[in-house]
């Protein structure tokens, strides 16, 4: 009897959700999100002054580019692939915070050309910044002074995708979304997904060890990347390609290039383990009253969705409302809650997965932890819900300047910094909000204001790093250190480790030509 009553309650609770699995006409997949990223040069902020001036950067002891160098590169690559004009887009970072003054952009078409460029630059002591899709958020992909921009745009081929092994080999300049489309043609999927997928390169992703929304399921790139080919500062090609998951032949040097942000070598090619595409994908977008309920729901998702849980994202009210205000095409299924979670399941049995996610939501509603929401398995609607999450970081920069942080924090203390920061900034900030990859303990704290100003900058930094460090968190969960965080590395890294990093940098790049002014200060 008790069991029956419980079942009835479950059904009632689930029925209050606006479920759209059975929608007859699937919503066509739109490309609004990706188009926005592709066409946006960066944020709505004003063009900044040169970073060398604003940040008083002492130019390194590098040679000055001359006509002979340009002629050398033209001979090597062909005139079309050597740019000396209209370089603004290559000099400014996505957030319009960092601006360099490069006079030369090189676009090699293969590994040998990358090697020849670096050989010349190393001999001449010319500094170089490797650049992928230029979507990085820490000022790592643009010059700080007059470094040559080495764009990987032309190394854009997917070389092979093996349906049997699940291993794909791809050139580093391939756009993530294009790579994923190719993998999907044979029933595989790239285990990495992020809002910048229409612009970022797979090589940029590996160089930053990008996280994104599926780490909770597939882990990070140190696991998925099986091998890399990298060109060292002296032009030597280091072949660390591997087509096997298991390969214990000595030191695992590929890891040096995953997340080293172009400071140790230029990645030209890589192999990646791609999982088989899931037959059934369901997404729930739910509203909750408190962060305590968010944590309870996360624990329940892990316990009850287990092996099919593929994403667990958090969005707070201010983050959602800002995106909705800026992008009228977004359709939020629910509104009026302090917190929202986007929970995705991916599995191989539609009925089973649907039953599981319904039961999980029903339980949460019965306990009063989940207040309302939508669950859908319709591919078009799944995409519509994901679009809301993907547009959140862009909403915050659409018409403002935004300080963005990607910190790892213990889950119990995950959200408190947002309230603390809001209090600290007061009216100086227009929006202080938190969202991110709850499933990986990775919070995105965003503080936006009308334009960059020192008063708010000083309120936010180094406070955010001190706070994170006190909780033994990480000051960079996924975006990297780049230029913006290099002075704060010590908040998360032991001095002995930092010294070893310096020694490794010196060994691999003795002239310091690769991405100077980044990662290490
Ligand atoms: P770039 O920005 O061009 O470069 C990034 C760094 O890598 C630089 O230091 C550059 O020198 C180096 N680099 C690039 N290519 C190479 C190469 N071939 N060899 C050596 N070094 C290289 N990041 C996340 O981790 N998770 C997210 O969910 C996420 N979402 C985002 C959403 C939006 C809307 C935006 C704008 C950014 C987001 N990012 C996210 C940040 C960014 O997209 C990632 O850091 C991405 O991996 C950068 O790739 P990219 O090709 O644009 O690299
Ligand atoms: C995301 O998860 C990205 O959307 C960007 O990492 C986060 O802009 C940000 O703060
Ligand atoms: Zn993120």
Q: Is 482 in the pocket of ligand 2 (CB under 6 A)?
A: no
Q: Tell me, yes or no, whether 84 and 202 share the same domain.
A: no
Q: Calculate the dihedral angle through the C-alpha atoms of 267, 404, 501, 220, rounding to the nearest 10 degrees.
A: -60
> With 90 as the cut, is the pLDDT of residue 18 above it?
no
**Mean pLDDT (whole number) for 299-310:** 97
Of 227-231, 451-455, 457-461, the one with minimum mean pLDDT is: 451-455
> With 60 as the cut, is the pLDDT of residue 17 above it?
no
pLDDT band at 120 (very low <50, low <70, confident <90, very high): very high
Which ligand 2 atom is the nearest neighbour of the CA of 396? 8
Cis status of the peptide bond prior to 59, with omega within 30 of 0: no
Q: Is 444 in the pocket of ligand 2 (CB under 6 A)?
A: yes
Nearest in space to 216 (alpha carbons), one of 411, 35, 397: 411
Digit-coded pLDDT (tens) for 67-77: 999 999 999 99
- For residue 370, give the CATH number of its domain: 3.30.70.2190
User: For the residues of 445-495, what is the DSSP string, one character each?
Assistant: EEEEESS--HHHHHHHTTHHHHHHHHTT-BS-SSS--TTTTGGGGGGTS-H
Q: Tell me, yes or no, whether 409 and 289 share the same domain.
A: yes
Q: In what order do the strands lie in the sheet with 148-151?
A: 82-83, 105-106, 148-151, 128-131
CA distances from 501 to 487, 507, 509 (A): 14, 10, 12
Where do we find the tokens 């999927």? Answer: 189
Q: Tell me, yes or no, whether 296 and 252 share the same domain.
A: no
> With 50 as the cut, is the pLDDT of residue 364 above it?
yes
Q: 397 alpha carbon to ligand 2 midpoint, in Å?
A: 11
The 3-state secondary structure of 280-325, one letter per residue:
EEEEEEEEECCHHHHHHHHHHHHHHHHHHEEEEEEEEHHHHHHHHH
Which ligand 1 atom is the nearest neighbour of the CA of 393? 34
- For residue 60, give the CATH number of its domain: 3.30.43.10
Which ligand 1 atom is the nearest neighbour of the CA of 201? 51
Nearest CA to ligand 2 atom 2: 436
Tally of domains within the chain:
3
Out of 209, 239, 273, a domain closes at 273
Q: Tell me, yes or no, whether 333 and 416 share the same domain.
A: yes
Of 12-21, 49-58, 98-107, 126-135, the one with minimum mean pLDDT is: 12-21
Out of 448, 470, 492, a domain closes at 470
pLDDT band at 43 (very low <50, low <70, confident <90, very high): confident
Residue 344 phi, psi (nearest 5):
-115, 140
Ligand 2 pocket test target in 93, 136, 392, 482 with most atoms within 8 Å of CB: 392
> With 60 as the cut, is the pLDDT of residue 25 above it?
no
Within a domain: residue 503? no
Ligand 2 pocket test target in 135, 137, 405 with most atoms within 8 Å of CB: 137
Q: Tell me, yes or no, whether 339 and 287 share the same domain.
A: yes
Q: Tell me, yes or no, whether 314 and 334 share the same domain.
A: yes
> With 80 as the cut, is the pLDDT of residue 20 above it?
no
Task: Say what the pLDDT of residue 29 is.
Answer: 31
Out of 132, 151, 170, a domain closes at 151
User: For the residues of 92-143, what is the DSSP string, one character each?
Assistant: B-TTS--B---S-EE--SSHHHHHHHHHHHHHHT--EEEESSS--SSS-SS-
For residues 128 and 20, which has the higher predicted lDDT (pLDDT)?
128
Q: Is 208 in the pocket of ligand 2 (CB under 6 A)?
A: no
N residues, the chain: 521
Within a domain: residue 519? no
Q: What percent of the chain has pLDDT over 70?
A: 92
Which ligand 2 atom is the nearest neighbour of the CA of 394? 8
Of 46-50, 277-281, 461-465, 485-489, the one with minimum mean pLDDT is: 46-50
Alpha-carbon span 25 to 222, nearest angstrom: 40
Alpha-carbon span 167 to 160, nearest angstrom: 8
Within a domain: residue 413? yes
Task: Say what the pLDDT of residue 45 is.
Answer: 78
pLDDT band at 46 (very low <50, low <70, confident <90, very high): confident
Q: Is 389 in the pocket of ligand 2 (CB under 6 A)?
A: no
- Rounded to the nearest 5 degrees, what angle is found at the Cα of 308, between the Cα atoms of 179 and 384? 60
Digit-coded pLDDT (tens) for 221-273: 999 999 999 999 999 999 999 989 999 999 999 999 999 999 999 999 999 99
Q: 313 alpha carbon to ligand 2 midpoint, in Å?
A: 11
> With 80 as the cut, is the pLDDT of residue 276 above it?
yes
pTM of the full predicted structure?
0.93
Q: Is 404 in the pocket of ligand 2 (CB under 6 A)?
A: yes
Within a domain: residue 90? yes
Q: Tell me, yes or no, whether 135 and 168 share the same domain.
A: no
Within a domain: residue 513? no
Q: Is 393 in the pocket of ligand 2 (CB under 6 A)?
A: yes
Within a domain: residue 508? no
Within a domain: residue 226? yes
Q: What residues flank ligand 1, with Cβ below 6 Å?
A: 37, 94, 129-137, 140-141, 152, 172, 194-196, 200-201, 203-205, 207-208, 210-212, 261-262, 266-267, 393-394, 478-479, 482, 515
Nearest CA to ligand 1 atom 14: 204
Q: 341 alpha carbon to ligand 3 midpoint, in Å?
A: 15
Q: 394 alpha carbon to ligand 2 midpoint, in Å?
A: 9
Q: Tell me, yes or no, whether 420 and 299 share the same domain.
A: yes
Q: Over the chain, what is the mean pLDDT?
A: 92
pLDDT band at 415 (very low <50, low <70, confident <90, very high): very high
Alpha-carbon span 473 to 468, nearest angstrom: 5
Alpha-carbon span 62 to 335, nearest angstrom: 55
Q: Tell me, yes or no, whether 117 and 249 share the same domain.
A: no
Q: Is 195 in the pocket of ligand 2 (CB under 6 A)?
A: yes
Within a domain: residue 266? yes
> With 60 as the cut, is the pLDDT of residue 81 above it?
yes
Nearest CA to ligand 2 atom 5: 393
Q: Tell me, yes or no, whether 406 and 306 share the same domain.
A: yes
> With 50 as the cut, is the pLDDT of residue 158 above it?
yes
Domain that holds residue 373: 2-26+278-470
Alpha-carbon span 269 to 102, nearest angstrom: 26
Q: 404 alpha carbon to ligand 1 midpoint, in Å?
A: 14
> With 70 as the cut, is the pLDDT of residue 11 above it?
no
Q: 5 alpha carbon to ligand 2 midpoint, in Å?
A: 43
- For residue 189, give the CATH number of its domain: 3.30.465.10
pLDDT band at 366 (very low <50, low <70, confident <90, very high): very high
Q: Tell me, yes or no, whether 293 and 442 share the same domain.
A: yes
The tokens for 98 are 């960092």
Q: Tell me, yes or no, whether 421 and 304 share the same domain.
A: yes
């Amino acid at each position: 009897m008790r069991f029956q009553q419980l079942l009835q309650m479950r059904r009632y609770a689930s029925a209050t959700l606006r479920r759209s699995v059975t929608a007859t006409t699937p919503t066509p997949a739109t490309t609004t999100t990706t188009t926005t990223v592709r066409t946006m040069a960066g944020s709505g902020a004003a063009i900044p002054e040169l970073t060398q001036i604003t940040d008083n950067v002492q130019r390194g002891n590098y040679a000055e580019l001359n006509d002979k160098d340009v002629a050398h590169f033209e001979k090597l690559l062909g005139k079309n692939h050597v740019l000396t004009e209209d370089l603004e887009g290559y000099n400014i970072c996505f957030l319009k915070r960092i601006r360099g003054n490069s006079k030369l952009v090189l676009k090699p078409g293969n590994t040998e050309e990358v090697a020849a460029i670096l050989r010349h630059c190393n001999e001449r002591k010319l500094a170089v910044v490797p650049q992928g899709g230029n979507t990085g958020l820490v000022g790592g992909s643009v010059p700080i002074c007059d470094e040559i921009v080495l764009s990987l745009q032309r190394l854009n081929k997917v070389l092979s995708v093996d349906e049997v092994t699940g291993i794909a080999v791809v050139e580093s300049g391939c756009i993530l979304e294009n790579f994923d489309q190719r993998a999907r043609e044979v029933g595989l999927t790239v285990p990495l997904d992020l809002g910048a997928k229409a612009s970022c390169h797979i090589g940029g992703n590996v160089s930053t060890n990008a996280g994104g929304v599926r780490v909770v399921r597939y882990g990070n790139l140190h696991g998925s990347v099986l091998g890399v080919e990298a060109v060292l500062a002296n032009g030597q090609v280091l072949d660390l390609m591997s087509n096997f998951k298991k390969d214990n032949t000595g030191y695992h040097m590929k890891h040096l290039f995953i997340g080293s942000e172009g400071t140790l070598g230029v990645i030209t090619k890589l192999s990646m383990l791609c999982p088989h595409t899931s037959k059934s994908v369901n997404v729930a977008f739910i509203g909750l009253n408190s962060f305590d309920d968010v944590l309870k729901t996360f624990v329940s998702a892990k316990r009850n969705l287990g092996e099919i849980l593929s994403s667990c994202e958090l969005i707070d009210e201010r983050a959602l409302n800002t995106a909705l205000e800026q992008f009228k095409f977004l359709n939020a299924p629910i509104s009026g809650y302090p917190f929202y979670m986007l929970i995705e399941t991916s599995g191989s049995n539609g009925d089973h997965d649907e039953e599981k996610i319904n039961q999980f939501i029903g339980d949460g509603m019965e306990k009063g932890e989940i207040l309302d929401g939508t669950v859908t398995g319709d591919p078009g609607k799944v995409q519509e819900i994901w679009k809301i999450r993907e547009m959140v970081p862009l909403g915050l920069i659409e018409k403002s300047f935004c300080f963005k942080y990607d910190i790892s924090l213990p889950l119990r203390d995950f959200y408190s910094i947002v309230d603390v920061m809001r209090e600290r900034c007061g009216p100086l900030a227009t929006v202080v909000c938190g969202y991110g990859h709850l499933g990986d303990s990775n919070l995105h704290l965003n503080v936006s204001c009308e334009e960059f100003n020192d008063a708010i900058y000083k309120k936010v930094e180094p406070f955010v790093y001190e706070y994170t460090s006190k909780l033994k968190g990480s000051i960079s969960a996924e975006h990297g250190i780049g230029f913006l965080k290099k002075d704060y590395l010590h908040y998360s890294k032991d001095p002995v480790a930092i010294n070893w990093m310096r020694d490794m940098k010196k060994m691999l790049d003795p002239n310091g030509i690769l991405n100077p002014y980044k990662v290490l200060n």
